[in-house]
């Protein structure tokens, strides 16, 4: 753009000098070139300058639009800032509300847990009271049965004493008629007495008293010291044999017969297998599906022999018995007590497995 205009001014300045020297043809040609240059200038003005003006106007319009957009963005930023401030305040209030609600919920949960623990303790106490009451009734029934058996044994002892006295009277009458054979007859009676003193006491303490009464009546010269020295080892051997016999019956699924023998062993205070026999009584009853009675036998071991090796087994089987009776709540309580008191025992693992299934 600058070069054509410069050329135009140069030509315009030298034209007067050239007119004086040039011909008319040259002048016409110069005018023609000037018209061409003017035409080009007009074209350039109409094209380039107009385009530049239009571009400048467009740019000015864009600048105005940008300014408007910038103002709009600034307004939006201010609104966003205020909105963020309000959101922060709302978040703060919401956080305080959430904290308050969480504290209230935590207090409610703690209160609910406390109530549940109190209810659980009340339930355990009630169950323990019920079990103790059932155990007391069971003990009273057993005591009544034992007293009845003792009375029956006493009655039989009195009858045996009367029979022995009658036999003695008959023997005295018979001996008075055959005095010549007295020493030999006395030897026979003494031998029969010695045999009975060994065998009869091995049955039970009651029968020992029963058999000793008629024997002493028939033979005044027999000594009590000899009878005691023979009875004690025989009774111990019989007790061991009885326990083995009961175990053999249990292994053969003869639970009723085994139960009777285990009951005799458990009722003997001098027995060394009393607790084990009591546990086996519960096992016999459990296998006979008499779960209520089995629970009572297990409870005797738990309450009276809590540190015995059979105590964890008794608690485990007691919980299983309650499961059989569809009392899952009580079973859970017993399993938890077993885990708490005998957590290191093998029965605790089985109790945890049963507890997970409930």
Q: Where are the domains of the chain?
A: 1-45, 65-110, 248-358
Average pLDDT of the chain to the nearest whole number: 78
Query: Collapsing DSSP states into helix, strand and coil, what is residue 269?
Result: coil
Answer whether residue 14 shows pLDDT above 80: no
Of 201 and 106, more confident: 106
Query: Token pair 């205070």 is at which residue?
Result: 269
280 touches 258 (CB < 8 A): yes
Please report the pLDDT score of residue 313 as a whole number. Answer: 94
349 touches 338 (CB < 8 A): no
- Please classify residue 313 by burial: count the beta carbons closer than 10 Å to its beta carbon, then call 0-12 exposed, 13-18 middle and 19+ buried: buried
Residues whose CB falls within 8 Å of the CB of residue 339, separated by 6 or more in sequence, listed in order? 348, 351, 352, 355
User: Across residues 204-210, what is the average pLDDT?
Assistant: 39
CATH topology (fold) of 248-358: 1.25.40
Best CA proximity match to 321, nearest among 352, 348, 283: 283
Answer whether residue 189 shows pLDDT above 90: no
Please report the pLDDT score of residue 127 as a whole number. Answer: 86
Element containing residue 141 per DSSP (H, E): helix 50-177
Give the integer Cα–Cα distance in Å for 262 and 288: 15
Query: Collapsing DSSP states into helix, strand and coil, what is residue 64?
Result: helix
């Amino acid at each position: 753009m600058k070069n054509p205009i410069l050329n135009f001014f140069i030509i315009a300045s030298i034209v007067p000098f050239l007119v004086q020297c040039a011909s008319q043809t040259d002048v016409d040609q110069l005018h023609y070139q000037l018209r061409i240059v003017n035409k080009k200038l007009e074209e350039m003005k109409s094209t380039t300058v107009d385009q530049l003006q239009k571009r400048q106007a467009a740019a000015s319009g864009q600048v105005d639009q940008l300014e408007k957009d910038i103002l709009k963005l600034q307004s939006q930023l201010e609104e966003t800032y205020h909105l963020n401030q309000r959101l922060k305040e709302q978040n703060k209030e919401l956080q305080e509300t959430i904290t308050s609600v969480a504290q209230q919920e935590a207090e409610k949960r703690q209160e609910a847990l406390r109530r549940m623990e109190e209810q659980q303790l009340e339930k355990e106490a009630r169950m323990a009271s019920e079990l103790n009451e059932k155990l007391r009734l069971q003990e009273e029934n057993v005591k009544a049965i034992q007293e009845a058996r003792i009375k029956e044994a006493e009655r039989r002892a009195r009858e045996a004493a009367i029979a022995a006295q009658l036999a003695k009277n008959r023997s005295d009458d018979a001996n008075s008629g055959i005095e010549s054979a007295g020493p030999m007859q006395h030897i026979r009676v003494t031998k029969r007495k010695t045999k009975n003193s060994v065998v009869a006491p091995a049955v039970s303490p009651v029968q020992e008293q029963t058999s000793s009464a008629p024997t002493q009546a028939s033979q005044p010269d027999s000594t009590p010291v000899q009878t005691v020295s023979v009875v004690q080892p025989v009774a111990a051997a019989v007790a061991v044999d009885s326990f083995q016999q009961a175990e053999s019956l249990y292994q053969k699924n003869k639970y009723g017969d085994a139960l009777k023998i285990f009951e005799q062993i458990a009722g003997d205070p001098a027995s060394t297998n009393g607790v084990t026999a009591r546990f086996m009584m519960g096992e016999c009853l459990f296998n006979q599906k008499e779960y209520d009675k089995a629970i009572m036998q297990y409870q005797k071991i738990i309450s009276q022999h809590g540190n015995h090796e059979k105590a964890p087994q008794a608690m485990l089987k007691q919980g299983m018995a309650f499961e059989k009776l569809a009392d899952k709540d009580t079973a859970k309580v017993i399993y938890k007590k077993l885990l708490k008191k005998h957590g290191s025992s093998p029965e605790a693992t089985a109790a945890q497995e049963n507890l997970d299934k409930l």
